Structures are given as C-alpha cells and as structure tokens.
Structure 1
Amino acid sequence: MPEMYFDVRWPDGPTQRCYSPSTTVEDYFVPGAEYELAEFVERSRTALGIAGERVREKFGFHCTGASGQLARTERTAAAYGDVDGTKVTVEALLGADGSPR
C-alpha cells in the first residue's frame, strides 16, 4: 500500500507529521491550505477512515496506524477547544520517502 505523510501546523504554531497508510489523504488535503479546526478533524476522520478500510480490504484487518493517527489528531484538536476561526494548515503532503507529492 502506498503510505504517505502530511505535515500540519496547529493554530499556535507547532507542526506535526501525520501518517496515512494510503494516498487517500491527497483527496482531502491540499498543501498550503488552511482549514477550520472542525473541518480539518472531519476531513481527517474521513480520509483516515477510508485509508484504514483500504488496508482492511487488502490485508483483512483495519490499520492501527490510521486509527492511532486519528486519535492523536482528535486529542490535539480538542486541546484548542471549539473556537470559531481556529485554523490548521496542511504544510505538505509527502510520500513514504519524505518527498513532496
């Protein structure tokens, strides 16, 4: 499966490298784009859910990497609360080797 990574910048500045077991995140995130916090979390749920399901279809089990990444994303997002206008930036989409997509 073609795994990939996506780098995000949280509202107060820290960056996080996120994992996906599938290129499906390319359908949900654009490098350099800003997303409202709630929208970012929802897009992450959808993209990582599809990615995990693709692993299940191919290998017979759901990807714990996808579900673990989603849990980390949700935990981090929850720390910012539900403030309108809070933005997350997708800094980059990267291949498994770290090269830009």
Structure 2
Amino acid sequence: MSLRPLGDKVVIKVKAEEVMTSSGIVLPGSAQEKPQQGKVIAVGTGEIIDGKKVPLDVKVDDEVIYSKYSGSEVKIGEEEYLIIKQADILAIVE
C-alpha cells in the first residue's frame, strides 16, 4: 500500500528523534519534543493558482524542516507518516 497525496499536499516520513538525553536519561514519549524534520516520500500534483496548476517546490527524497504541529499523522502498517501542505514546509535541507 502506498500514499498518493492530492493537490499541494506532501507525505513525509518523520525523522526519528533520540529518546535518550546526552547525560543518559531516557525520556518518556510524552516528554519528547515533536520532531520537525523528515524525508519527503510523495508529493501531490501541484497547487492551483489563478486557474493554473503550479508544480510543488519539493520532490521525493528531499529532507525538509516543517512547522511544528502541522499536518495530519497517518499510520500505515508499522510506518508513521505526516501529510502536510507545502506551505507548512519551511526549508529543504541541502
């Protein structure tokens, strides 16, 4: 099964965050910061602006930084993904 986002949506595989502090303390799930970086898995067909379809700026395999608490979390099998609008992506990591 795969995800095919529509319009200006992007599917991101969230980058796993460390669960242990530098001093060796393991943080419970509720105390961890929500990650803001991930890898683009799929992109939509583009955004419609003034009646014309404009392709998205991001592409599959881009590493991106996105707004905190944006998008919708989706779980397929054992994998967790985030579906967000391209506008919620702040930068491409190069």
Q: Which has the higher Rg, Structure 1 or Structure 2?
A: 2
Using CA pairs below 8 Å that are at least 6 residues apart, which structure has the higher relative contact order? 1
- Check whether TM > 0.5: no
Greater share of helix residues, 1 or 2?
A: 1
